[in-house]
Every structure is written in C-alpha cells, then in structure tokens.
Structure 1
Amino acid sequence: MPSQKPSICPANATHSEDPYKYQCGFGNHHVTEAIPGVLPPCGTNLPQKCRYGLYAEQLNGTPFISPRNMASSVWMYRGKPAAAHHPPVKIGGGDHIESCFLSINSNATFTPLSYTWGPLKSDQSLASTAGPAVTFVQGLKTIGGHGDATLKEGLAVHQYAFDTDMHQQAFSNHDGELLLIPQHGTLDIKTELGNLRVKPEFIVVLPPGIRFSVNIVRALESPMSKIKATGYALEVFGTRFTLPDLGVLGANGLAHPRDFEYPMARFDHDAEDDGRPFCVTIKLAGRLFSYTQPHTPFDVVAWNGKYAPYRYDLSRFCHLTANTDQLDPTSYCVLTAPSKGPGMSLVDFCIFGDKWAVSRNTLRIPYYHRNIATELCGVIRGQYPGSVRPLEAGGLSFEQSYMPHGETYEAHRKASEAANDPVKLGGSLFFMFNVSSHLALTRWATEEHPDIRLERPGIWDSMKNHFAHHLQEANACLSGSHGQQTLTPPKSPDGRMLIDTNL
C-alpha cells in the first residue's frame, strides 16, 4: 500500500524515475506513517492499545546505557510482531561468506602480495535461462576482512552478483552494518521501514537486524528479462557509519547531511487465509540460518526513530582541490566507521569523481608511498586512471598495509613533464576502502575467484636511477658547501659504472 503523500524532499526532486519518497537528513530522528494517525500521540511510544490493532515493537541498535548522542533505536507499529516465526535452522549456501579473520580461521590469510580481481559474474549469463537462479544472499562472496564479528570489532569486504529477486524472502544481517555499492543493475530494496531505489552511483546503508529484500529493477517492457546485478559491499562490526568530522573545513564540504535519504513508511498486507510461507535468512557469525513465518515481515505501518536504512547519491559529493601538493585520500571521505581506538577510524569510504585539478608545480598522479592503511579500490564507472594494475569497472584491487606502491616509471616520467594547467578530471567514478589495519584475504579470493590478476612480474624493472647522472653536479654542490662527503657512481663486480645511459 502506498505511503501517505509527504512533502517532496528537495534532494529527491531530480530522481523522477524513482517511485518512492524519502525523508532527508543524516542521523535525524525521523517520523513517518503510511496511514494518518497511526503513530501514538506525542509523549508516548507504547500505548496500551495501538490504533487499528497494530503491535508496538522497538529495535535497539545500541546498548541502553549508550550516551544520548550515540543512542540509536526505532519504534515500529506493525501488523504482527517480528517474534511470530518458527524456530531458526542452520542452512547451507554461505560457504563463501566469512566474518572471522583471526589466525584461527584457515580460510583467511594475511599476505603482502598485491591482488586485483575482475568483475564478479552471476552464475546465469545475461541471455541464458539455463542454470540455477542466484539471489542477493547466494551471490554474496567475501574478499577479505579484519577482526571478528563476534568480538564486535572489524570489517568484511564482499563482492556480489545475482540475477533473481527475493520472492517471499527476506535477509537480516546480525553481524554488522552493511554498505552496498551497486556497479551494474538498479536495486529495489524493500525494508521493514520502507523502500529504497538504489542505482549505480548511489550507495545504501543497511543497519544490522533490519530485515530487507533485494530485487532488480527490470524494464517495464520486458519484466522477465534476465538481468544481473553486480557490485560491492563493505560490512563493519561493532560500529556504524557516520559522517567524518570536518575540522578546519568548518560547516560545509564533503557529503552534506541533507542529501542522505531515508525511506517513508510503506507496508504490505497479508490476508489471514493467505497461507504462503515467508522465509527469512539470518547471517550470524558468518553462518546462515533461516526461519519461516506465515506472514510478511514488511508490515510496518508507521515508525519513528534514528535506527533506519538510508541511501546517498554520490554525484552530490563536494570534492575539494588544492593549489599545490595533493590532498590525502580521506579528504574525499563520504562515510567513516570509527574504531574502538581513540582518534582512529576502522575504515573510511572515499569516492573519486569529477573534479578540477589546478595544483601548480605538483606531481598530480599518486606519489610513491607506504601507509598504515590497507587500500582497496573499485571502479563504478569508466576507466581506472592508475598504471600498475588492470582494474576495470566491477573489479577490485588490494594493497596490504605498509607495502610500497605507486605508479609505473613511464607514468611517473610522463606526469613529471606534463603541463600543470588546470584540467577537469571526469569520465570515471571509483572508490577506496581505506582500512586502518592489516587485512586478511579469504581462500575464495586468492584461489577460487574466477578472475584473479596478480601484479605483473617485472613491472618495476624499467625504473631508472636518475640521481646517478647528477653525481658530478652533486659533488660540486657538496664541495661548494664545504661538505666532506664525495659521491661516486655504483660499480658492478667487474668494475663497470652502473649508470643507465638510456635516460
């Protein structure tokens, strides 16, 4: 049943193809009802009797004693309480899902090697009707992670690919908060609190414990066409995504709070004699369980609170630029998840889209560096601008913490000689997971992924030692400054000077 007509959120005005309406404002206490008058009067959340015979139910996302600025919960008024279901049973199908990345898990390994993975394809081709159907839950594959969901500390990185809607099914992730990044295929996500339309170049965040279904938007003229959806997922344990502090930037910049959109209340209605079972799958400690119930879980007629899913249009991100030098990747941070360590994030989600490059007397390509953070990059649209790895749209790259990396010699030399004129960078959209720790890769990622691309052998062999050609100049400088050091060119065992003459 459609929700009550709200005032249109200005941030949603440009998405005319979206059938849903939204509430705006990151972290707000939202209030919405699909039928006027369902919410209890102000001053109470738990009336003795709810209107229309509905049941009041609360979902808490934080402990009761959490500070008020961190507390997050939602009150729902629904057809039947969520407790009305049959006992859960353990099921298969989650062999490629991991939530523990400690050394005790033989399926997760820490490695200093660089990896690149190609796009993950669904088990069904776009044109074929043969083969098993794959839902969102079945198409979720873990690349790697850190920590352990049962310790409420860490994260997991996944790719997904599926081609089938979740008919009469729902999913509830009890391990952590899930950020989805569609790369191909528009998602229609039905949650207990309302619906969200999420196309590529959008993201959606789904809090733990919220039940939802993920379906694919298909063309009206061919609703039965075989369309797949692929993308990425970042899951955080024991923490939640929030906006980064702006510091000296002040009140404005990066992702604006008003651009985050939350669903309006919207419900399905079950006839008492329907009799069709609804299957709900749970992910708990990386294992899958399921239970059935004779009614829909999407029967919330009204709700109010802060604990809710939301989406964000990445094209609205406010990119920063600099007149000299380079800004760190976290200056492109959309969302961050704080860790338990003071002043340190668990992971930052950074986006790189259209912007102007205006820095003068500056090397504009990524410089050579080593980093406490592990970097994973993915491409949503266009060509990846890096020169070292063959990363394409739908693929993912991995660079372990403290491992040195940068661009090839050829790319570095070209950028060193390029004009520093202002230029607009565009045509691509890619992201980075900036993880403040080591990251373990799963056995599936290192051995079973259908498209594993290791770093090309010899890619750094063309690197030149330019300094060796300037030793005479450097010695003159040292002599002029009364220095005692004398620089000599390196020699091979047979006494030859090791200076590259092809510079």
Structure 2
Amino acid sequence: MAWINFPKVEGLASRQAHVDLPANTYERELGKEGFYGPSTQMYHRHPPTGWKTIEGTLTPRAFDTKKLALLEDDLWKARLLFSNANIQIRFMTLQNDMEHLLRNADGDELIFVHQGAGELFCDYGHLSFSEGDYMLLPRGTQWRMTVNEAVSMLLIEATNDSFKLPDKGLVGNQAIFDPAILDVPKIDDAFMAQQNDAEWRVLVKKRNCLSTITYPFNPLDAVGWHGTLMPVRLNWRDIRPLMSHRYHLPPSAHTTFVSSRFVVCTFVPRPFETDPTALNIPFFHSNDDYDELIFYHAGQFFSRDHIYPGMMTLHPGGIPHGPHPKALQNADKKRGTMTDEVAVMIDTRDTLEASKHAEQVEWPDYVDSWK
C-alpha cells in the first residue's frame, strides 16, 4: 500500500515548504502521521490561530504543575494528569527517601527530572540522577529513590508497550545523541551497601490495580547481570539537535523516544535560522492525527506568551496549532541568535483526557492568549 503522493501546486504558493512565503501570507501545514507522512502547505491571508471564540472540546489548554503542591513518596499516589489507553502522565514531587519499592507491570516508565537530585536503586544497580535527566525503566523493574535535593519529575507510562529510540535515517545512529552516551545502573559499593535483611514492601501496579508484596529482605539483592534490557539515563544537555540555518525543521526532528502510539520529543537550545527567506518560528500546522502536550522545563519559550517553567500546554488534534502573535512580530529579530528553551513534547495518536487534578490547576484564559 502507498499514499496518494504526487506534488501539485494551486494558486499563489511557495515552491518549498517553510521558505520564501508569498507576501503577507501565513503558512499552515496539513499532514498525515504527524510530521512523518504526506503533507500540504496552505497559504492564508490571516493567522490560522486568529480565532474570536472557541466552543466545544478543541480548546487549547494550559496547566501549572507548580500549583499541585504535592509531596508524595509513592508513584501511584502521584496525581494522574493526562491519559488514554496507551499512556499515563503523572507529576510527582519527592522530599524524602522512598521507604518501599515500586514496580510498574503495566508498561515501560519514562521519568524526566524537572528539579532536584538523588539516587536511583533498582534491580540492575545504582544510578545517580539530577535535573534534566531522562531515566527509562523497562516494564517490571523494581526501583526506589533516595533524595539529595527535593525532586519534582514528570512520569510517562507507555501502557502495555515499550519505549524505543527513533529511526535516525540518513543522519546515522550517532545523530541527536550517540547511544554510547546512555548511562546504565552499576552494581557498585552504594548498591551493595543498601542490601539487607530488613522487611521490604514492593508496590506493584498491574491493570491499574495495586498489589503489595512483602519480603523479609531487600529484593534489590543482585550481584551481577548481563543482557540487552536495562534502564538508561540521558540528560537533555547530551542531546545535539538537528539544525538547518535555511529551513525550519519540524518537531519530529527532535524525537527522543518512541512508542507505538506516541512519541516523546525534546526541544533544547539551538541557533535560530539565519536565511532571511526561511521561517524561524514554528509553522502553523493542522496535525489532526495527534494531540500535542508540552511540558516546559527551563528557559524562555519563544513561541509562547505567559508560559513559564513547570507549565504544560495541551493542543488537541482538530484545531490549528501555532505561535503566539508576539512570536510572529519578533521573528526577524531572532535571526542569528539562539533559542533559550528546554521542553518535553508528547504527541499522542489517541485523544488525551485531562483528569480532575489537571483541571484544578488549569489556566482557563489560555485560549484567549492568541487574541
């Protein structure tokens, strides 16, 4: 099977996407499979986000995780913010050491450390972590954390699924980040020192229900292992983004991890495009195959107004996405400078449902910020 895929041009249009737009127009991309399939660029007289009002379920939404004010030592008590059948997204804060182990039997767990630092102990050994780290825990891994500095973190479950690395295609396996940069847990002195014969509990989540297994010893008692399945750690500072000074690359160029029904992308500082004919802000797009959720970690977010670290935005499929008016006005002033933002984007094929806990920290006027 193949897409109907032959290029046509109608009316006043650019010869190349995102470059040399017709005067006084705004480009909107309509695509399939997110940014991976066939697409068409439309050229409009007005910004596609220049709405007057929106009624119904397609309203762009924003949420402030700082207002959660939760202190938990248990992942399963951390408030579920967004979910569908293929993903669960939580935000967790931790001030004290965990006194029990956790085990997710429903899917792989991806942790992004927003603030703080500590030590992770798991079946595979010991791994230190700090702000900006991703930690990928394969499904079924037993783990706990100790805290060196109060921790807040985003948790992304690939329900009944796994996380993999994206296909890097023409640019090669070392592009974006070399897999050699991935750190793995060590069976070191710290890991051996935590082994004991005290009573330990393991809280296991399966089919979204909890069971507790109690041992008369610490089950993190491995003395060695070998194989190809293991937790890994990656810091956003180790990501070397794909760039083009003559073309604005789509978000898919920043893909970090993939699952069957969603992708996780990381936006890190990079140079703005310098070519005066090229867009240097995100192009408007109608990405109706995916919902777009972004967690803002650090810096100044050049395409968004009134958004600061710790906030999340949800742009549902079915409505155009694009930069705020101020970003459009200031676009040319950015040429030759660097972006100053770190953000985690989760694009899901299936509609994300916001929980009542997310709604409690929602900024309801976000939809009006494009006016």
TM category (shorter chain) comes to: 0.7 to 0.9
Aligned with residue 339 of structure 2, among 418, 425, 429: 425
Look up the equivalent residue of 1:165 and give its one-letter code.
D
- Cα distance in 2 for residues equivalent to 1:422 and 1:123: 39
2:266 is equivalent to residue 354 of structure 1: no
Structure possessing the higher radius of gyration over alpha carbons: 1
- Cα distance in 1 for residues equivalent to 2:301 and 2:184: 31
Q: 1:284 to 1:359 in 2, by over 3 A?
A: same
Query: How far 1:122 sits from its partner (Å)?
Result: 6.9
Does the CA contact (< 8 Å) of 1:243 and 1:255 recur in 2?
A: no
- Classify the secondary structure of the residue corresponding to 1:255: coil
- Cα distance in 1 for residues equivalent to 2:202 and 2:258: 30
Query: How far 1:137 sits from its partner (Å)?
Result: 2.1
Query: How far 1:326 sits from its partner (Å)?
Result: 1.3
Q: C-alpha offsets along residues 400-445 of structure 1, whole Å, 9 cap, x if unaligned?
A: 1122121233432332xx257422223x311211222322222322
2:65 is equivalent to residue 119 of structure 1: yes
Q: 1:456 to 1:134 in 2, by over 3 A?
A: closer
Equivalent position of 2:192 in the other structure: 267
Does the CA contact (< 8 Å) of 1:118 and 1:391 recur in 2?
A: no
- Larger strand percent: 2
Ranked by relative contact order (alpha carbons within 8 Å, sequence separation 6 or more), the top structure is: 2
Aligned with residue 294 of structure 2, among 377, 384, 403: 377
- Classify the secondary structure of the residue corresponding to 1:357: coil
2:129 is equivalent to residue 198 of structure 1: yes
Equivalent position of 1:386 in the other structure: 303
- Classify the secondary structure of the residue corresponding to 1:267: helix
Q: Tell me the TM-score normalized by structure 2.
A: 0.77
Equivalent position of 1:400 in the other structure: 316
Does the CA contact (< 8 Å) of 1:230 and 1:394 recur in 2?
A: no
- Classify the secondary structure of the residue corresponding to 2:253: helix
Query: How far 1:458 sits from its partner (Å)?
Result: 4.1
Query: How far 1:139 sits from its partner (Å)?
Result: 4.9
Q: Tell me the TM-score normalized by structure 1.
A: 0.58
2:115 is equivalent to residue 184 of structure 1: yes
Query: How far 1:180 sits from its partner (Å)?
Result: 0.4
- Cα distance in 2 for residues equivalent to 1:270 and 1:261: 22
- Cα distance in 1 for residues equivalent to 2:264 and 2:274: 24
Equivalent position of 2:362 in the other structure: 452
Unaligned runs of 5+ in 2: 1-55
- Cα distance in 1 for residues equivalent to 2:344 and 2:125: 28
- Cα distance in 2 for residues equivalent to 1:123 and 1:326: 38
- Cα distance in 1 for residues equivalent to 2:139 and 2:328: 44
- Classify the secondary structure of the residue corresponding to 1:253: coil
Unaligned runs of 5+ in 1: 1-109, 125-132, 148-153, 219-227, 340-345, 462-503
Q: 1:358 to 1:163 in 2, by over 3 A?
A: same
Does the CA contact (< 8 Å) of 1:119 and 1:392 recur in 2?
A: no
2:101 is equivalent to residue 170 of structure 1: yes
How many corresponding residue pairs? Answer: 311
- C-alpha RMSD of the superposition: 2.3
- Cα distance in 1 for residues equivalent to 2:166 and 2:128: 25
Does the CA contact (< 8 Å) of 2:136 and 2:233 recur in 1?
A: yes
Does the CA contact (< 8 Å) of 1:122 and 1:163 recur in 2?
A: no
- Cα distance in 1 for residues equivalent to 2:290 and 2:274: 25
Query: How far 1:236 sits from its partner (Å)?
Result: 0.4
Q: C-alpha offsets along residues 432-461 of structure 1, whole Å, 9 cap, x if unaligned?
A: 112223222223222xx3x21124464444
Look up the equivalent residue of 1:238 and give its one-letter code.
N
- Cα distance in 1 for residues equivalent to 2:366 and 2:240: 36
Matches within 5 A, 1:145-160: 145-147=83-85, 154-160=86-92
Matches within 5 A, 1:474-493: none
- Cα distance in 2 for residues equivalent to 1:229 and 1:204: 14
Look up the equivalent residue of 2:349 and give its one-letter code.
S
Q: C-alpha offsets along residues 235-278 of structure 1, whole Å, 9 cap, x if unaligned?
A: 1023221111111223431121101111122435766xx5x321
